[in-house]
Amino acid sequence: MEATLKAVKRDTRGKNEARRLRRAGQIPATVYGGGASTDAIAVDPKALSRILHSEAGVNSLISLVVDEAPAVKVLVKEYQLEPVKHALLHADFYRVALDRPITVTVPVVITGEAKGVKQQGGVLDFVTREVEVECLPADIPENLEVDVTELLMGQSVRLKDVQGAKWTTKSDPETMLVHVVAARIVAEAPAVEVAAAPATAEPEIIKKGKAEKAEGGE
């Protein structure tokens, strides 16, 4: 999926500027990479939230328009959420070149009902829920779909069994995604209550790959 996001360049930084932006209905953000400088920008959190909650989510290819400059292609590299209401607080965008492969993490999605479960009484064990793949930015898959309909007891699907026309795997091809195992009853040990010290809620940071922190304290 490709989306468009408008932004404005900002000249000031810091906590006071971040609070001012949020009161005005925007959030601070940075855009970096692609051989260009790191720029401080401000974006509409509602528009960004719609992109993050789309089917492609953080893997959405975004045309970022800063002021009146030509659009640049970016991906969301990291975003920060308020811990209680989960409102967006900050975002980092990474510039990408459409002709250069990148590595992204995509979710694994299961479809169908395994014969080993339906007919043999087994249990479907979903082992790996996301994997890394390499592809061009415009070819990022929304997910890796695994049809488990024909899986019998003891059978599995590994990453090498899932074919991609426009991507190659970066995770180990032998990685097990899902298998059907015999149902068993596991005795649970009595829970031991441990008193925990009260903690102050901290902003939740969602990372997508390795990203340099461009602006501390925002």
Please give the domain boundaries of the chain with CATH numbers for all domains.
2-98 (2.40.240.10), 102-181 (2.170.120.20)
Residue 24's φ and ψ, nearest 5 degrees, are -90, 5
Q: What residues pair up with 123 in beta bridges, in sequence order?
A: 181
Tokens matching residue 193: 């209550």
Integer Cα distance of 77 and 58 in angstroms:
8
Round to whole Å and give the CA distance between 196 and 198.
Answer: 6
Record the tokens describing residue 81, joined without a space. 């959420």
Q: For 118-151, b where at least 16 C-beta lie within 10 A, e where not — what string?
A: eeeebebeeebeebebebbbebbbeebebebeeb
> Which run of H or E residues covers position 88?
strand 88-95
Average pLDDT, 10 consecutive residues per value, the chain (218 residues): 89 81 93 92 96 92 94 95 91 95 95 95 96 95 95 96 91 96 62 53 59 44
pLDDT of residue 177: 97
pLDDT of residue 199: 54
pLDDT given for residue 17 in this prediction: 82
State the sign of the Cα–Cα–Cα–Cα dihedral 10, 12, 15, 21: negative
Using DSSP, state whether 113 is helix, strand or coil: coil
**What is the pTM assigned to this prediction?**
0.75
Tokens of 152: 């019998």
Tell me how far apart the alpha carbons of residues 20 and 30 are, in angstroms, rounded to a whole number: 16
Distance CA 77, CA 104 (A): 10
